[in-house]
Amino acid sequence: MTSTYPHVTLNNGVDMPALGLGVYQSKPEETTDAVVTALNAGYRHIDTAAAYFNEAEVGEGLRRADVDRADVFVETKLWISDYGYDEALHGFEKSIRKLGVDTIDLLLLHQPLPSQFDKTIAAYKALETLLADGRVRSIGVSNQSPEELDRLLAETSIVPAVNQIQLHPYYTQPEWRAVNDKHGIITQCWSPIAGAYTYNGNEKNPFTEPTLVELGQKYGKTPAQVMLRWHLDHGFSAIPKSVKPERIRENLDVFDFTLTADEVASIDALNTGVSGSIDPDSLTLESHGMPIPE
């Protein structure tokens, strides 16, 4: 049993608070308050992205909260329209300008770009330069399949610290996790409370799922809290999104209990093997390459 904020150590020794606030689909006008609420409630990690169009509001939240910037792990992602070496360096400059910070704690490539993977590789090499220059403290990827990771590892020098992928009780991603583990890459889970299922009208509802409801009753927790504890008990990083103060606080209140191995396995067994979202490999510059503003 633990009551302290769990951290994970990245493959370059950097310490990352395992639970963070996600801000995908947080409207710009809601984002600053969400970040302030989260940091003042005790969160020490925020996950944003250039393509969420709310980095400036995240930055405003960082400045307004009663917490030093140095005590917050700030993570953002480069979008595919900024792939290529010089383009990625410029994308980083856009992100730090909007966030109002000098360094990023973790910078990810948001997606692979399978149709032009050479641009993905070139962008990753820019991340390696930023790491060598001390502009970012760690680098990683998101939505990279085992095959894409193999190619990236073969053509670049630094093993990503993190691969951020869709992962929740309905989509537990055993193959991708195993490959991340093999390379010492931390698995970070997007849609950790199955948000992608909710957004996309899937019939499954984790908040009425009997296994999660019953475990919640046992521990005096909600199904969302049980799901987040499951992530932490697996050693993942998880970045639940909410703009509602009570849910932001609820999602952090998961450090005072742990699940047994059998309980973790009972949640693992909810896996449907079906993604709640579009295939990340289906994205192209033509379909999704919207420009990121200066």
Q: Which residues are catalytic?
A: 52
Q: Provide the token pair at 206.
A: 């984790």
Binding to ligand NAP by CB under 6 A, coded x per residue (else -) over 188-227, reads --xxxxxxx-x--------x----------------x---
Regarding 105 and contact with ligand NAP (CB under 6 A), the answer is no
Residue 201: CB partners within 8 Å, gap ≥ 6?
none
Regarding 141 and contact with ligand NAP (CB under 6 A), the answer is no
Please say which residue, 161 or 196, places its beta carbon nearer to ligand NAP: 196
Please say which residue, 190 or 255, places its beta carbon nearer to ligand NAP: 190
Q: Provide the token pair at 180.
A: 């991340």
Q: Which of 244, 274, 284, 290 binds ligand NAP (CB under 6 A)?
A: 244
Q: Provide the token pair at 222.
A: 């909600």
Pairing of strands 7-9, 162-166: unpaired
Pairing of strands 73-78, 45-47: parallel
Contact 226, 216 (CB under 8 A): yes
Distance CA 178, CA 36 (A): 35
Choices 20-28, 132-140, 179-187, 259-267 (CB under 6 A): range interacting with ligand NAP:
20-28
Regarding 32 and contact with ligand NAP (CB under 6 A), the answer is no
Regarding 81 and contact with ligand NAP (CB under 6 A), the answer is no
Q: Which of 10, 19, 22, 36 binds ligand NAP (CB under 6 A)?
A: 22
DSSP 5-23: --EEE-TTS-EEESB-EE-
Where on the chain is the footprint of ligand NAP (CB under 6 A)? Answer: 22-25, 47, 110, 142-143, 164, 190-196, 198, 207, 224, 239-244, 247, 250-251
